[in-house]
Amino acid sequence: MTDKKELKKKEPFLDVEAGQQTPDILRKPVRDYQWLRNPIVIVLQILILGLFCRFTLDQVHRSAQPDPVHKTFMGYLGSLEENYAGTWLKEYSNETQFPGTEANIKLANWTRDKFLEFGLEVETDLYTTYISYPVSQSLDLLSASNGSVVFKAALQEDILEEDPTSLKSVPAFLGYAASGDVVGEYIYCNYGTKEDFDTLAELGVNATDKIAVIRYGKIFRGLKVKFAQDFGFKAALLFTDPKDDGEVTEANGYKAYPEGIARNPSAIQRRSSQFLSVFPGDPTTPGYAIKPGENKTRSSPHLTTPRIPAIPVSYREVIPILQKLSGHGPKVESWPAGLVPGYDYASIGPNPNYKLHLTNEQDFNITNLYNVYGKIEGHKKDEVIIIGNHRDSWTPAAGDPHTGSAVLLEIARALGNLQKTGWKPQRTIMLASWDGEEYGLLGSTEFGEYNAHDLSKKTLAYFNMDVSAVGNILELGASPMLYEVLRSTADLLEYPGTDKTLYDHFKENTNDTFKSLGSGSYYTVFLDHLGIPSVDMGFTSNRTGPVYHYHSVYDSYHWIESLADPGFVFHNLMAKYVGLSVLKLSETKVYQMKASDYASEIQRLYEKVEVPKNWLSRTIGHCSKGGKLVDLLSDTEQNIISLKKAAISFDEEAVQLQTKYDNWDSLSWWEKLALQLKIVKTNRKLNYFERKFLNPDGLKDRPWFRHIIYVSGRYTGYAGQQLPGLVEPIEDNDYETFVRGLTFFNNVVNNLATSI
Ligand SMILES: *[C@@H]1O[C@H](CO)[C@@H](O)[C@H](O)[C@H]1NC(C)=O
Ligand SMILES: *[C@@H]1O[C@H](CO)[C@@H](O)[C@H](O)[C@H]1NC(C)=O
Ligand SMILES: *[C@@H]1O[C@H](CO)[C@@H](O)[C@H](O)[C@H]1NC(C)=O
Ligand SMILES: *[C@@H]1O[C@H](CO)[C@@H](O)[C@H](O)[C@H]1NC(C)=O
Ligand SMILES: *[C@@H]1O[C@H](CO)[C@@H](O)[C@H](O)[C@H]1NC(C)=O
Ligand SMILES: *[C@@H]1O[C@H](CO)[C@@H](O)[C@H](O)[C@H]1NC(C)=O
Ligand SMILES: *[C@@H]1O[C@H](CO)[C@@H](O)[C@H](O)[C@H]1NC(C)=O
Ligand SMILES: *[C@@H]1O[C@H](CO)[C@@H](O)[C@H](O)[C@H]1NC(C)=O
Ligand SMILES: [Zn+2]
């Protein structure tokens, strides 16, 4: 352990899985440059560099000419006649893509072959993981008195003539939900949030032998199942309520898909019931990964997977079930209404005259995941930008993930074309097609855990492409390091059908505000676990646009082509947006990252933390210089202000360095040399800035999450929790943990303020 501490002091990255085998794409010798610091060597270096400066420095400079590269890249995606996104989307959304199945491996091969065709280097990277396959599900409403079936749910979407994807019937299941066959009375639990179960507890609800009926929405579905299990329910039934679609409902006069844009009432939402906020990835390998042929132990999956059965059901089929509860049991008048006719959304039940019979059978298997990578090696092999999206799906899904797969291939095509002109990027660009996301972010998490050491050193940024184009509204979540590059790139692009830029559109819709990243997609391991600046982006539907049939068979090619993105215009825009942003990061000499945006964001978040008044005068014990909490709080505030000042001047200097670099020819050789050295130092600081927010011990009770600014919300999953080390102890009324969290945070801020 002391070794690890030593290392931490020297290097801002965390040497988590040192010594593990790395995919070729990342494997490059990590050299120890200590000898370079020897004074004699330094003098020699200067002499040698002086002699060869004309040649070497100018050589390096000539290879960095970003603007023409941007133009040429845009050219390859420029005209919509040359837009292949629809072609790729059709190919990708042809079949269901369960991990380990023939169809999935075929599509992995197809993706690999496309990367090859475009001229990228390729690699297939396998992990063995624990997953579940659906075998059978059923749901019956029974008469309690004589056991006869009052209503039998089909658990299938309607087949629609217009939409060939609806012919492919897909089991209505939730990944990892336990197998089981249960009969019991049932209770309505609203959205199944922590507060909802607290409400049930106050009412004295006895869950023994009962089934929880829970509405989709607000939080990650796996946590609904977890809370139901923790409360003592023996099964959970999750249903979709179109009220949560907002304005566009049949009740408001919109027609349902396929005639119109409202939700089809038979749509079912599938996906994982994993407890995402505990840790993502393979439930049996927390913090590490296993490749085929490796003999490593697996732990019990139940830290993050349910012990109770759970299945999803459509709006149409939950109607007869919920109707039976009206007027039975206690009422919670504060719970919001939904659209089930004849149900008051307040009576929680049970109705002693009815029971549910719910079955779920799944096979739990160890299966190979196939990640596929395409790479364009840059002049700097050890500086990598990753763009990724998952390839697995449980229906022949178009929106999630394959709008992103199509965009990824368009970027690959354009970069490949660029490469064929003789261009080589400054930094390495890696495109990843991940497997196993729907089960709980398996493919990228295992990759991230396996290669933690290398990724921490070499990865500048991760761009996540899931659900890229299911509407026309840009949604953008990002690490503040990347705000600037995302804003300035959006300003270069036209918003379709207007004379506005994409950035104008973003500002109109969001007041220039980025979403905070939480979890729920594939950036999680990069940001929350490894501290790598990440972006999650996509075009989503507006409030009056077509309702997205998330994880239903109606998330189909037909739906995208006819309603969500006719002409694949927003696919094309997304390919340009991501491609250009990545090129800006790759091609400019000084990284286009901004520490000052991060400092401002930290200040904003810190100001929102509401410390209980009665804590302020409490002492802080051994953790700090002594004194009261209020002193530590104001010390932290001062340090944040210092960080902001330091970051602003650091960023200004970085801009000046780039400007100087752009006027290369006017510099003398020693100015060139000094500039190069300064740039190396600046880039190094930018590269490691976000990494410094990692706490190697992780969060209390969930050590996998190590980022102290952004993590997955423990009670929400999808939605992010900012400053978890401060906010969560306040929620828990846990003073000691709060002081520890604040001390750590203050130290990080202070170190950054003095070192940047
Ligand atoms: C698409 O599906 C059809 C049959 O369902 C099959 O013949 C075809 O090969 C599939 N295409 C791909 C790329 O898998
Ligand atoms: C995928 O490609 C590998 C290597 O080329 C080949 O051995 C394998 O049979 C292919 N699998 C499928 C399902 O096409
Ligand atoms: C069972 O009871 C229900 C009332 O709960 C009644 O409608 C139904 O006819 C009964 N079925 C049989 C087979 O007795
Ligand atoms: C809850 O219900 C079960 C079964 O109906 C019963 O055995 C148990 O005693 C009840 N618990 C409480 C606290 O009432
Ligand atoms: C795997 O490791 C276990 C102990 O860790 C050992 O007992 C077993 O023989 C190993 N199996 C193989 C195939 O190496
Ligand atoms: C999963 O495991 C079961 C046995 O538990 C086996 O029957 C089934 O074929 C396996 N499924 C797959 C897809 O490997
Ligand atoms: C937009 O953001 C600015 C600056 O952050 C703020 O002053 C303003 O109140 C915001 N406007 C709205 C409508 O939220
Ligand atoms: C929402 O999107 C639809 C098309 O999908 C468009 O017709 C409508 O004008 C948009 N509304 C707003 C407020 O942007
Ligand atoms: Zn997805």
- Is 55 within a domain? no
CATH number at residue 400: 3.40.630.10
Q: Is the CB of 206 under 6 A from ligand 4?
A: yes
Domain annotation covers residue 39: no
* Whether 491 and 342 share a structural domain: no
CA separation (Å) from 221 to 192, 207, 216, 310, 698? 9, 19, 7, 10, 24
The preferred substitution site among 105, 107, 371, 435 for testing ligand 2, maximizing ligand atoms within 8 Å of CB, is 105
Which of 317, 338, 364 finishes a domain? 364
The pLDDT value given to residue 54 = 54
Q: Residue 647 in contact with residue 756, Cβ under 8 Å?
A: yes
pLDDT at 59: 57
Report yes or no on 251 lying in a domain.
Answer: yes
Nearest-CA residue for atom 2 of ligand 4: 208
pTM of the model: 0.91
Indicate if 225 and 319 belong to the same structural domain.
yes
**Is residue 48 situated within a structural domain?**
no
Is residue 44 domain-resident?
A: no
Q: Point out the domain boundary residue: 312, 337, 364.
A: 364
Give the closest residue to 456 by CA, choosing from 687, 279, 287: 687
Residue 29 scores a pLDDT above 90: no
Query: pLDDT band at 518, cuts 50/70/90?
Result: confident
- The residue nearest atom 9 of ligand 1, judged by CA position, is 94
370 within 8 A of 105, measured Cβ to Cβ: yes
If asked whether residues 359 and 450 sit together in one domain, one would say no
Quick one: pLDDT at residue 752?
97
Q: For residue 605, report the distance from its CA to the centre of ligand 7, in Å.
A: 16
Residues forming beta bridges with residue 235, ordered by sequence position: 211
Q: Are residues 304 and 423 in the same domain?
A: no
The answer on 280 and 214 residing in a single domain is yes
List residues with catalytic annotation. Answer: 437, 634, 707
CATH of the domain at 218: 3.50.30.30
Q: Which residues are within 8 A (CB) of 411 and not within 5 positions of it... i.e. 6 or more apart?
A: 387, 431, 575, 578, 579, 582
pLDDT at 315 exceeding the cut of 60? yes
Ligand 8 centroid to residue 87 C-alpha, Å:
25
Ligand 2 centre to CA of 410 (Å) is 23
Q: Are residues 102 and 241 in the same domain?
A: no
For residue range 197-237, list pLDDT tens digits in order.
999 999 999 999 999 999 999 999 999 999 999 999 999 99
In a domain, 271, yes or no: yes
Q: Is residue 612 part of a domain?
A: yes
Structural domain ending residue among the three candidates 587, 618, 646: 587
- Which helix (H) or strand (E) segment holds residue 661: the answer is helix 629-662
More confident residue, 602 or 36: 602
Asked whether residue 349 falls in the same domain as residue 462, the answer is no
Q: What ligand is nearest to the CA atom of residue 130? A: 6
Pocket probe for ligand 8: among 506, 544, 562, the residue whose CB has the most ligand atoms within 8 Å is 544
Q: What are phi and psi of 226, to 5 degrees?
A: -60, -50
Distance CA 437, CA 280 (A): 10
- In the chain, the number of structural domains is 3
Ligand 8: centre distance to CA 545 (Å): 6
CATH number at 721 reads 1.20.930.40
pLDDT confidence tier of residue 19, bands split at 50, 70 and 90:
very low
Task: Encode pLDDT of 394-403 as tens digits.
Answer: 999 999 999 9
| 140-167 burial: b if 16+ Cβ within 10 Å, else e | bbbeeeeeeeebebbbbbbebeebebbe
Shared domain for 575 and 701, answered yes or no, is no
Report how far residue 414's alpha carbon sits from residue 374's, in angstroms, rounded to the nearest whole number: 13
- Beta strand 211-215 with 235-239: parallel, antiparallel or unpaired? parallel
Output the residue whose Cα is nearest ligand 1's atom 2: 94
Residues 371 and 354 in one domain: no
Alpha helices in 436-544 (DSSP H): 442-450, 452-458, 483-490, 502-510, 524
Residue 529 and residue 439 share a domain? yes
Ligand 6 neighbours (beta carbon < 6 A):
100, 133, 363, 365
More confidently predicted of 30 and 633: 633
| Average pLDDT for 445-453 | 98
Is the pLDDT higher at 520 or at 532?
532
What is the average pLDDT value for the chain, to the nearest integer?
91
pLDDT in tens, 558-602: 999 999 999 999 999 999 999 999 999 999 999 999 999 999 999
**Does residue 390 contact residue 443 with C-beta atoms inside 8 Å?**
yes
Whether the Cβ atoms of residue 435 and residue 369 lie closer than 8 Å to each other: yes
- Minimum mean pLDDT among 96-100, 241-245, 370-374: which range? 96-100
Tell me how far the alpha carbon of residue 461 is from its chain's centroid. Answer: 13
> What digits encode the pLDDT tens for the residues 405-435?
999 999 999 999 999 999 999 999 999 999 9
- For residue 350, is pLDDT > 90? yes
Same domain (yes/no): 240, 228: yes
Which domain range does residue 240 map to? Answer: 131-364
Same domain for 614 and 550: no
Let me know if residue 27 belongs to a domain: no
DSSP letters, 531-567, are: ---EEEEEEE--TTSPPP-TTSTTSSHHHIIIII-GG
Residue pLDDT, tens place only, 47-76: 665 555 555 555 555 544 557 788 888 888
Alpha helices in 295-430 (DSSP H): 315-323, 404-420
User: For residue 561, what are the CA distances in angstroms to 90, 475, 570, 744?
Assistant: 10, 20, 11, 50
Residues 290, 283: Cα–Cα separation, whole Å: 12
Segment 639-654 shows an average pLDDT of 98
Give the mean pLDDT of 356-373: 97
- Strand blocks (E) in 228-331: 235-239, 271-272, 310-313
Report phi then psi at 188, rounded to 5.
Answer: -85, 130
